[in-house]
Amino acid sequence: MNILVVGKGGREHALLKALSESPSSPRLYSFPGSDAIESLATLVEADGLASLIAKMKELSIDLCVAGEESYLVKDEGLANACAAAGIPCWGPPKEGAQLEASKEFAKEFMNRQGIPTGKATGCATADEARAAIAGVYPTVLKFDGLAAGKGVAVCFTEAEAEDFLKEVMEERRFGAGRLLVEECLIGPEVSVFAAVSGDQYQIFTPARDYKRALDGDKGPNTGGMGAVASLSLVTKEELAQIEETIVKPTVAGLVKEKLGYKGFIYFGLMMTKEGPKIIEYNCRFGDPECQAVMPLMEGDLATYCLKGAQGELDRSLIRFKQGWSVCLILASAGYPVTSRSGDVITGFEQVEGASVYHAGTKKNAAGQWETNGGRVLAVVAQSEDRGSAVKQAYEQVSHLQFEGAQRRNDIGIMNFAPLKS
Ligand code: AMP
Ligand code: GLY
C-alpha cells in the first residue's frame, strides 16, 4: 500500500510514525514533508494541487492522508481532486472542510443541527462588531477564515477588543473576511477527535491542549505549547454526553447536509456548567494533540484510514491504551510573534523512553539539527499515571537544548488536580 501524507509538522511526523508501525507495512510518501519526515517517508515535490495529483498518480498512491488543513480548501480541494483522480483520500471534501475554514458556516451548521455552542453574531465591519459586543466583557472575537490558530481573541476589556478589531478588521492581518462575536464560555477545555466515514464514526482518546505561550495560560495564543491525552481525561458520563449531544448530531448533520465527510474531525469543547459546548471544529487531527494521542493507539492505522477513505470504518483495526501521554513543545526564540531559525539543537542521543517529533527543524550542512520555525520539537512520554508521564516528559525534554528555547512548565499540571509530590 502506498500512502502519501500532506503536511510537514509535528502532527504529520507523529501520523507517519504511527502509519510506519502499521502491520500492513505501507510504503510512505510525504508532501512537502521535512528533513525529519524523510527518515520515514519519501519526500514528494509538487507545485500546487494539480501537480500533486499528477505525482500521486505517477507513484500509484493508494491513499492520500490530509495531515494539515490548507489543501482541503485550496483550489477545488484536495479530497475533491483526489476523488476526480480515483485516489481515496482520508480528509473531507472542500464542502465539508468549510466546518474549519469558515467559523460562520460552522456556527450556522451547529445551530441547524441543534448542537450546543456559544451564541454568536456574524459581522462584516469593526462597527458591526462593536454593536454586537454591546459592552459585554469578556467576549470572544473570531476571524472567519483560516488564520493558523491565531484568529481568535478572548477579550476581557474594551481595549483588548479594539486592538484585535484594528488588527483584523482594519489592518486586515489575515486578509478579507467577516468576524464572529461570540459568547465567552467558561470551563475546562477538552479536544475530542473522531474518525468519520459517512454515517460511521469512532471517538479517539480525548486530549487537552495548552494554547497560550506562557505558564498559567498567560501570554499570547500559539498553535499549542503542549498537550495531554488519556481515556481518563473525562469521565465515562462526560464522554457519553459529548457523544450524544455533540458527536452524533454532528455526524448525522454531515450526512443530512451531504457534506461527504471522511477523515478526522476535531471537536474543540468547553465543559461548561450546562454541559459540553463546542467552540470549534477542525477538519484534521490537532497539533500537538496528535503527538500525544498517537502513542496511545495500537493497531493498523494505515488499513484503518484506507478503508475509512473507501467508506468503511473498521473499528476492530485500532485500539486505545489506558494511561496518560504528555507532549511538551519546545519553541524557538520569539515564538509566537516571530521565530528564529538556524539555532543548533543538541541532546537527541540522551533522550530515553520518550518520542521526539520534529515540527520545525532542518539538517544543516554539517548534519546537525537546527531550528527552522516557531514550534521546533515535541517530546512525548507515556505512563500509567499522569504524574509519572509529566515527570518523564520533563526529564527527557531537559536533554534537548538550543539557544532561545522556550517551553511551558505546567503541561499536564494546570487545569488538573495537584500532583502528589
Ligand atoms: P480556536 O482558534 O477557535 O481554537 O480558539 C482558540 C482558543 O480561544 C480556544 O482554545 C479557547 O481557549 C478560546 N475560545 C474560543 N472560543 C471561545 C469561547 N466561545 N469562549 C471561551 N473561550 C473561547
Ligand atoms: N492544537 C490546536 C489545533 O490543532 O488547532
Per residue in 281-307, pLDDT (tens digit) is 999 999 999 999 999 999 999 999 999
Per residue in 296-355, pLDDT (tens digit) is 999 999 999 999 999 999 999 999 999 999 999 999 999 999 999 999 999 999 999 999
Q: Are residues 300 and 196 in the same domain?
A: yes
In the structure, what pLDDT confidence band is assigned to residue 421 with cuts at 50, 70 and 90? Answer: low
Distance of CA 390 from the midpoint of ligand 2 (Å): 20
Q: What ligand has the least distance to the C-alpha of 151?
A: 1
Distance of CA 174 from the midpoint of ligand 1 (Å): 18
In a domain, 76, yes or no: yes
pLDDT, residue 285, reads 97
- Grid look-up 531559525 returns 341
- Grid look-up 526564540 returns 333
In a domain, 99, yes or no: no
Q: How far apart are CA 275 and CA 269, in angstroms?
A: 10
Find out whether the beta carbon of 212 lies less than 6 Å from any atom of ligand 1. Answer: no
Pocket test residue of 287, 290, 375, 411 for ligand 2, highest count of atoms within 8 A of CB: 287
Q: Are residues 226 and 313 in the same domain?
A: yes
Residue 57's CATH number: 3.40.50.20
Q: Are residues 191 and 316 in the same domain?
A: yes
φ and ψ at 61, to 5 degrees? Answer: -70, 130
Question: 64: helix, coil or strand?
Answer: strand
Q: Are residues 132 and 32 in the same domain?
A: no
Q: Are residues 314 and 190 in the same domain?
A: yes
Find out whether the beta carbon of 282 lies less than 6 Å from any atom of ligand 2. Answer: yes
Closest C-alpha residue for ligand 1 atom 16: 279
Q: Are residues 164 and 267 in the same domain?
A: no
Distance of CA 365 from the midpoint of ligand 2 (Å): 32
In a domain, 418, yes or no: no
Answer whether 344's CB lies under 8 Å from 400's CB. no
Q: Are residues 73 and 199 in the same domain?
A: no
Find out whether the beta carbon of 189 lies less than 6 Å from any atom of ligand 1. Answer: yes
Q: How far apart are CA 25 and CA 216, in angstroms?
A: 42
Pocket test residue of 12, 209, 221 for ligand 2, highest count of atoms within 8 A of CB: 209
Q: Are residues 269 and 300 in the same domain?
A: yes
C-alpha cell at 229: 491525552
Distance of CA 7 from the midpoint of ligand 2 (Å): 14
Question: 252: helix, coil or strand?
Answer: helix
Q: How far apart are CA 147 and CA 257, in angstroms?
A: 26
In the structure, what pLDDT confidence band is assigned to residue 418 with cuts at 50, 70 and 90? Answer: confident
pLDDT, residue 77, reads 98
Mean of pLDDT values over 155-172: 96
Q: What ligand has the least distance to the C-alpha of 117?
A: 1
Q: Which atom of ligand 1 is nearest to the CA of 151?
A: 2
pLDDT, residue 321, reads 98
Pairing verdict, β 318-320 and 226-230 = unpaired
Q: Which atom of ligand 1 is nearest to the CA of 117?
A: 19
In a domain, 416, yes or no: no
Find out whether the beta carbon of 287 lies less than 6 Å from any atom of ligand 2. Answer: yes
pLDDT, residue 148, reads 67
Residue 379's CATH number: 3.90.600.10
Q: Are residues 207 and 155 in the same domain?
A: no
Q: Which residues pair with 226 in a beta bridge?
A: 328
Mean of pLDDT values over 220-247: 96
Distance of CA 138 from the midpoint of ligand 2 (Å): 22
Q: Are residues 193 and 303 in the same domain?
A: yes
For the chain, what is the largest distance between any 2 Cα atoms, rounded to a whole number of angstroms?
Answer: 58
Find out whether the beta carbon of 280 lies less than 6 Å from any atom of ligand 1. Answer: yes
In the structure, what pLDDT confidence band is assigned to residue 150 with cuts at 50, 70 and 90? Answer: confident
In a domain, 128, yes or no: yes
Residue 370's domain comprises 325-397
Q: Are residues 192 and 288 in the same domain?
A: yes
pLDDT, residue 395, reads 98
In a domain, 344, yes or no: yes
Closest C-alpha residue for ligand 1 atom 2: 149
Find out whether the beta carbon of 209 lies less than 6 Å from any atom of ligand 2. Answer: yes
Answer whether 386's CB lies under 8 Å from 412's CB. yes
C-alpha cell at 180: 464572529
Distance of CA 289 from the midpoint of ligand 2 (Å): 7
Number of domains present in the structure of the chain: 4
Find out whether the beta carbon of 376 lies less than 6 Å from any atom of ligand 1. Answer: no
Among 192, 220, 224, 227, residue whose Cα is nearest residue 211: 224
Distance of CA 187 from the midpoint of ligand 1 (Å): 11
Find out whether the beta carbon of 118 lies less than 6 Å from any atom of ligand 1. Answer: yes
> What's the pTM?
0.94
Answer whether 44's CB lies under 8 Å from 58's CB. no
Pairing verdict, β 189-197 and 152-155 = unpaired
Distance of CA 159 from the midpoint of ligand 2 (Å): 27
Q: Are residues 177 and 193 in the same domain?
A: no
Find out whether the beta carbon of 149 lies less than 6 Å from any atom of ligand 2. Answer: yes
Closest C-alpha residue for ligand 2 atom 3: 286
Question: 270: helix, coil or strand?
Answer: strand
Strand stretches in 172-261, DSSP E: 179-183, 189-197, 200-203, 207-209, 212-214, 218-221, 226-230
